[in-house]
Amino acid sequence: MANTEAALKEATTTIDGAIGAALVDYTSGMALGTIGGGKDLDLSVAAAGNTDVIRAKVRTMEMLGLKDEIEDVLITLGGQYHLIRLLKSRGHDGLFLYLALDKERANLAMARHQLRKIEAELEV
């Protein structure tokens, strides 16, 4: 089992093209841990903004009467992928992993696969 710091480090060191990662509590919008980022990617701001994305999607699903769960949300930019993976493991309700990737160096399918693996090993 990996703690938050180890899980985020694994995400940024084993996933090709990773720019930064965060574990976020979307009930509060607070980042529980961050790694990477930089002057062009403030992970605290990203955590708060992506919380709004998740809340909006959950509300929309409720209004549509969809009885399904969000696995992940992908936002594609010109030069980056932003991947938001809601944690579904026991005891992880209200949390998501956020991963920013360099589009030219990343393999999106492998990044999604590796985030699932990291989620399974994460102990919060």
Dump pLDDT digits (tens) for 3-50.
999 999 999 999 999 999 999 999 899 999 999 988 889 999 999 999
- Residue 122 has a pLDDT of 87
CATH class for domain 4-121? alpha beta
How high is the mean pLDDT of the chain?
92
Q: Which two structure tokens, joined as six digits, stand for 77?
A: 């930019």
- Burial group, residue 48, by CB count within 10 angstroms (0-12, 13-18, 19+): middle
- pTM, 2 dp: 0.92
- Residue 89 has a pLDDT of 67
Domain spans, the chain? 4-121
> pLDDT digit string (tens) for 89-99?
655 678 999 99
